[in-house]
């Protein structure tokens, strides 16, 4: 397959060793827009590029600006698709799994995730949850 690998047994791993070329990372979508997860971390000069995990160029930056700042929904959708095509052609990440999320509550709590629920971000704002006296 053309993969060169070696096993390193480390007593402790911080996730930031540049020679490891791997790390664990959750990247939740904090609001219902692709920018909620993709935009900040994968922006030109953003955290992923600053830490050496991702490289951009002028064309990527131009597409990203259209995705991020256009007020036209279709223009943003088109730009996002272009970004995803570039990511697919040269992936900076390899998602290995989708985290499983579950929750439980007592019978006197009324709550359920809303449509567009964001993993790791549970909506407990006023009006989203209610608690009745114990029966």
**pLDDT given at position 57:** 94
pLDDT of residue 29: 62
Let me know: does 66 contact 57? Beta carbons within 8 Å: no
pLDDT of residue 123: 81
Residue 15 pLDDT = 65
- In this prediction, residue 133 carries a pLDDT of 85
Q: What confidence score (pLDDT) does residue 70 get?
A: 95
Residue ranges of the chain with per-residue pLDDT less than 70: 13-32, 95, 97-99, 116-120, 135
Burial class (CB in 10 A: 0-12, 13-18, 19+), 64: buried
Domain residue ranges of the chain, discontinuous segments joined by +? 34-89
Query: What's residue 103's pLDDT?
Result: 78
Token pair, residue 83, equals 């970004």
Res 26: pLDDT: 67
């Amino acid at each position: 397959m053309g993969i060169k690998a070696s096993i390193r047994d480390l007593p402790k791993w911080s996730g930031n060793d540049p020679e490891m070329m791997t790390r664990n990372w959750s990247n939740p979508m904090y609001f219902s827009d692709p920018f909620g997860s993709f935009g900040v971390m994968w922006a030109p000069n953003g955290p992923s590029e600053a830490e050496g995990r991702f490289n951009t160029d002028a064309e990527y930056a131009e597409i990203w600006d259209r995705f991020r700042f256009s007020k036209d929904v279709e223009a943003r959708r088109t730009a996002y698709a272009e970004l995803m095509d570039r990511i697919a052609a040269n992936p900076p990440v390899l998602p290995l799994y989708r985290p499983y999320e579950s929750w439980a509550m007592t019978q006197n709590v009324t709550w359920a995730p809303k449509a567009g629920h964001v993993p790791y971000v549970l909506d407990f704002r006023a009006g989203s949850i209610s608690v009745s006296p114990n029966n």
